[in-house]
Every structure is written in structure tokens, then in C-alpha cells.
Homo-oligomer: A and B are copies of this chain.
């Protein structure tokens, strides 16, 4: 077989503020080819990329390496590395079999000589592959470890979830409902409000129509807060918290795309003291040592029993769609309920 095209998404300029721009910060490079039958594996294995999972952490990896954050940075001129589901097409490694699916951090390119990927999902393919980018992957793990390690919700308590229709948010809601919590949740469109209602949220609302402050003052107080957005949502939650409220800070999408000087500034920080609130910013690796094992024991079974569900929305179907799809995912208030994915190949 002759060499075939091996498209890849290349990082070419660092992001200083605002949204990245396709063609400026990253580009699709279609110039490369690969001979999948003969490319040397050097004891490794070759994977084909199937489903890409654009996630907010990719924004952090585009920054200048001198700015501290929770991730390493991308290398200029190299392929973007991020989450994806891949399938093994050749292998020289005894433990890795052709036809196995994998999920983890991998270069975003058509074919890759691995190993880069880290997590092996259900090899039988019980679920659509896109599930492994959501409830069975990092968003599910994020929701599970954060709920266990920070929120620790008790039956009858009220939890507020910002960005409740997102991949992580929708799973947080379901875990909260399984534990008997009352849930208030926000999102940016009426369709997302209906989706959150279908998950059992008692007070779903559209923050473009009702302010965080007015909804929480009416339907609070809250015992816990899962924050994916920051800014007005965090400020209103500080005001609406009971004494000893627990806040898990998982994302800051409300300010990520805003120039620093124009960002919303918090007026209720004094409530941290007055209400003796505990606030913890976290990413998944912080809590995996304590709670990661239970995720893999419990969540796949709950999915199999239909007790946990997830929505994945295909926002791209070919490599040419990828640059724009990344930006769409990063835009606060994008229109998709659930986890956005890009299906670049069917198998």
C-alpha cells in the first residue's frame, strides 16, 4: 500500500489572551504522508485516531511557558497533544493487540507511532467510542473524584452547579441526584435548561435570562457549589452559601476568553470568612490517588445499568473541521449540551 495522507493539527503561535484563532494559533497540516504498513515501530505500536475530545485544558497548554498553570505547554511547530480515542492498527508490543481501542493523551494526527495513550477503555466496545471521551473518560473522572473528594454531598443538601449542561456538569448533576441532593444548575440556553431538567435538576436556569444572584437568593441557600465558570456564578454562590459551604472550583470559562483588565471582579470574597467556606481548585490528577480506583470500579457498572448517562455532540466529522471545533469548544456559552467531540474516522 502506498503512503497515505496523515493530517495533523500543529501548534504555531502562543495564546496571550482571548480566544485562539484557527490559522493563527494552530493550523491543519495536510502535507505529511505515512506508510502504515512499513513505518518502523521500534517495538511500539501504530494507532489510528478516531474520536477527538477538545477540552478546556487545551487553552492552558497554548500559553507561554513562563505563565504558571496546572498543565505543561504545547511545543511550537509540533502536533497538539490532547485526549482522543484511537485504535491499534499494528503492534510490535506483546501487551498491545491490533484492534484494541485506547483513550488518552495523544498527538492529534491521523496515525501515530505510540506509545502516548494511557488509559485502555472497555476493549469490547460495549459503548459508542465517544462515551470514552465523556462519562467513561476524563469528564466522568473529574466529576466523580471532585464529588467524592470535595463536595461530599449529603442527602437533602442543595448543590449549585454552574455550566450544568456541560460534560462534567451533567455528570456532577447525576451523581448529586443519585445521592439525594437538591440541585440548582445554570447554563446559557433554553435547550440546555431543558436538558438539565431531564437530568432531574429542581432549579435549572438560563443565566442569560435570570441573573445568578437573583436565582440563588430566591432558591438558596446552597450547601455546596460545583463551579465550572467563575466570575458572577462564584460571586453569587459566595453570597448564597450556608456556613461551612464546600466549593469545588473546576473551571473558569467565564473569564478565560476575557482580557485580564476587563474581567469580572469578585465583590463577595469577604463571605469566605463570614461563612467559613472551604474552596478548593483542583484538576483530576490531584484526586486520582484517593478516588480514581473507585471510579473505575463503580462508574462503568452504573453506565451499564443505565443509572448514569451522558450526551456527546459531534461538532466535526473530518480533520478539516478540527481547528474551528477547538475554538467552538472554548467559547463560553457555545450551543451544545453535553460533551463536544470530533469524529475524524469511523474505524
Residues of A bordering B, CB below 8 Å: 60, 68-70, 230-231, 234, 242-244, 249-252, 255-256, 260, 263, 265-267, 269-283, 286
**How many copies of this chain are found per oligomer?**
2
Given A68-B243, A265-B265, A275 contacting B270 (CB threshold 8 A): no
Judge whether A68 and B250 touch: CB under 8 Å. Answer: no
In whole angstroms, how far apart are the Cα atoms of A270 and B234 in the complex? 10
CB-defined contacts of A234 to chain B, threshold 8 Å: 269
Interface centre among A70, A263, A279, A281 (most CB of B within 10 A): A281
Judge whether B286 and A281 touch: CB under 8 Å. Answer: no
Judge whether B276 and A283 touch: CB under 8 Å. Answer: yes
Judge whether B276 and A278 touch: CB under 8 Å. Answer: no
CB-defined contacts of A286 to chain B, threshold 8 Å: 244, 276
Chain B nearest CB: distance from A135 CB in Å? 22
CB-defined contacts of A282 to chain B, threshold 8 Å: 276
Chain B nearest CB: distance from A242 CB in Å? 8
CB-defined contacts of A256 to chain B, threshold 8 Å: 270
Judge whether B266 and A249 touch: CB under 8 Å. Answer: no
- In the complex formed, the residue of B with least CB distance to A230 is B270
Judge whether A276 and B265 touch: CB under 8 Å. Answer: no
In whole angstroms, how far apart are the Cα atoms of A167 and B256 in the complex? 40
Judge whether A230 and B269 touch: CB under 8 Å. Answer: yes
Judge whether A278 and B275 touch: CB under 8 Å. Answer: no
Chain B nearest CB: distance from A86 CB in Å? 29
